[in-house]
């Protein structure tokens, strides 16, 4: 019996003392929607939703940085590029199988993020600037590293994605694999968020001094968050390489990093699934309603401004809160639920 523990006898069995059960609602709902979308809307959505899924893998990792640790990274596009060119190099130059190339992409993304550790002593604006510099340098480095990246001319992949006995060359199969990757990545990141390590990221968002005061090694925690986001971006890049079949440095611009950041903020930074929703809004809706290229280009910055300024919790949390209120106030509401309480039902979307 420890010091504080010994002071208070266990007066009651308390549900709060049990571990939070995993919530499968969000990944199951996402999986169902991904499965139903091509059937309900038509196969035309598949070419739109595959790139969304590939970017979502990166956005899931970014949500951990932005929504939990309060760190802004503008370098996710570069980390995706690292993953993509690594997959291409390992596949084309070394002739490795796709499974190995994808693993190499994941490791490379994590390794480059880990190499940022010396800069993680910087805080706030300066850390964001360091990631922006990474993003700006990446394209130049990729052009200079011609033996690996093919330089400005780019590199073409040889062969399609094949995972064990599964041939992922068809667009529908790739669609399924990409969304499976989103769901698996999201579940893993959500698990981290609900753990003691996730709470150490939360403490960071309040302030480094508070985090240190509860025993968090701040640089290690920041590095862990960056490496997780790097691993996700590496996987995203690897999938992109096999999907697009041709890579050039321009594909991994600062603009791509900003789109990912905007998606996370629009969808909801605290939920690992927020970035997925944000990417659907930013990339699919303009195509679906045919906004035109000029209006499309304005949509991302405008939505970023609107959500950052007026709805910082994002779409997922707003939708969950709104639906929760409707449920409590609606005719089907249970009498006890019609009273607005401050209990667990008020929890934000990330808790679900």
Partner 1 sequence: MSGDERHGLTVARLCRSFGGLQVLRDVGFRLDPGRVVGLIGPNGAGKSTLINCVTGVLAPDGGDIWLSGSRATGRSPDDLCRGGLSRTFQHARLLEHLTVLDNVLVGAHVRGRVGIVAAALRLPSVRHEEIRLRECAVRALDLVGCGHLADTPAHALTTGQQRLVSVARGLAGDPRFVLLDEPAAGLDDTETGALADALRQVAAGDVGLLIVEHHLELIMELCDEVLVLAGGGVVASGPPAMVRDHPAVVDAYLGTPL
The contact set with partner 1 (CB under 8 A) reads 2-8, 10-11, 14, 16-20, 22, 188-189, 191-192, 194-200, 202-203, 205-207, 209-218, 224, 228, 270, 313, 342-344, 346-348
Q: Quick one: 8 or 332, whose CB is closer to partner 1?
A: 8
Rounded Cα distance between 276 and 261, Å, is 11
**Other beta carbons within 10 Å of 253:** 17
Q: What are the Cα distances from residue 43, in Å, to 34, 39, 179, 243, 286?
A: 12, 7, 15, 17, 18
Alpha helices in 64-170 (DSSP H): 76-88, 98-115, 125-144, 146-149
Rounded Cα distance between 278 and 265, Å, is 7
> Side-chain half-sphere of 28: how many Cα atoms within 13 Å?
5
Minimum CB–partner distance for residue 6 and partner 1 (Å) = 6
Minimum CB–partner distance for residue 252 and partner 1 (Å) = 26
Rounded Cα distance between 102 and 84, Å, is 9
Minimum CB–partner distance for residue 347 and partner 1 (Å) = 7
Written as six digits, the tokens of 54 are 């590939």
Q: Quick one: 172 or 195, whose CB is closer to partner 1?
A: 195
Is 267:281 a contact under the CB 8 Å cutoff?
yes
Q: Quick one: 162 or 212, whose CB is closer to partner 1?
A: 212
Minimum CB–partner distance for residue 92 and partner 1 (Å) = 31
Is 204:222 a contact under the CB 8 Å cutoff?
yes
Q: What is the phi/psi pair of residue 215, to 5°?
A: 95, 10
Q: What is the phi/psi pair of residue 330, to 5°?
A: -75, 170
3-state DSSP percent of the chain in helix, strand and coil, to 5: 75, 0, 25
Minimum CB–partner distance for residue 15 and partner 1 (Å) = 9
Is 60:270 a contact under the CB 8 Å cutoff?
no
Rounded Cα distance between 168 and 176, Å, is 9
Minimum CB–partner distance for residue 4 and partner 1 (Å) = 5
Q: Quick one: 143 or 197, whose CB is closer to partner 1?
A: 197
Q: Quick one: 11 or 334, whose CB is closer to partner 1?
A: 11
Q: Quick one: 289 or 323, whose CB is closer to partner 1?
A: 323
Minimum CB–partner distance for residue 214 and partner 1 (Å) = 5
Q: Quick one: 116 or 203, whose CB is closer to partner 1?
A: 203
> Side-chain half-sphere of 307: how many Cα atoms within 13 Å?
26
Q: Which residues contact 291 (CB under 8 A, 6 or more apart)?
A: 299
Minimum CB–partner distance for residue 211 and partner 1 (Å) = 8
Minimum CB–partner distance for residue 215 and partner 1 (Å) = 3
Q: Quick one: 135 or 232, whose CB is closer to partner 1?
A: 232
Q: Quick one: 49 or 59, whose CB is closer to partner 1?
A: 59
């Amino acid at each position: 019996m420890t010091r504080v523990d010994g002071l208070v006898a266990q007066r009651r069995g308390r549900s709060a003392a049990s571990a939070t059960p995993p919530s499968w609602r969000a990944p199951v709902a996402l999986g169902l929607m991904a499965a139903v979308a091509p059937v309900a809307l038509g196969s035309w959505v598949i070419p739109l939703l595959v790139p969304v899924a590939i970017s979502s893998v990166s956005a899931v990792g970014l949500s951990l940085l932005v929504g939990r640790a309060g760190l802004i990274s503008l370098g996710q596009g570069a980390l995706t590029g690292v993953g993509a060119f690594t997959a291409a190099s390992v596949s084309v130059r070394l002739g490795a199988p796709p499974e190995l190339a994808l693993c190499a992409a994941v490791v490379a993304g994590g390794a480059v993020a880990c190499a940022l550790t010396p800069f993680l002593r910087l805080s706030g604006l300066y850390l964001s600037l360091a990631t922006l510099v990474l993003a700006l340098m990446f394209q130049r480095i990729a052009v200079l590293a011609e033996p690996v990246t093919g330089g400005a001319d780019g590199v073409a992949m040889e062969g399609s994605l094949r995972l064990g006995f599964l041939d992922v060359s068809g667009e529908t199969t790739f669609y399924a694999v990409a969304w499976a990757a989103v769901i698996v990545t999201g579940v893993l990141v959500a698990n981290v968020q609900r753990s003691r390590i996730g709470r150490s990221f939360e403490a960071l968002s309040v302030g480094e001094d508070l985090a240190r005061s509860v025993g968090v090694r701040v640089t290690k925690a920041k590095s862990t968050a960056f490496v997780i986001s790097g691993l996700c971006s590496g996987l995203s890049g690897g999938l992109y390489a096999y999907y697009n079949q041709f890579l050039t440095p321009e594909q991994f611009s600062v603009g791509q990093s900003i789109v990912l950041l905007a998606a996370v903020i629009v969808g909801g930074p605290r939920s690992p699934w927020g970035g997925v929703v944000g990417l659907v809004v930013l990339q699919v809706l303009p195509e679906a309603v045919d906004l035109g290229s000029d209006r499309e280009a304005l949509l991302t910055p405008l939505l970023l401004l609107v959500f950052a300024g007026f709805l910082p919790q994002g779409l997922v949390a707003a939708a969950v809160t709104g639906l929760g209120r409707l449920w409590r106030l609606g005719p089907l509401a249970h009498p006890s639920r019609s009273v607005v309480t401050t209990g667990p039902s008020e929890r934000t979307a990330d808790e679900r």
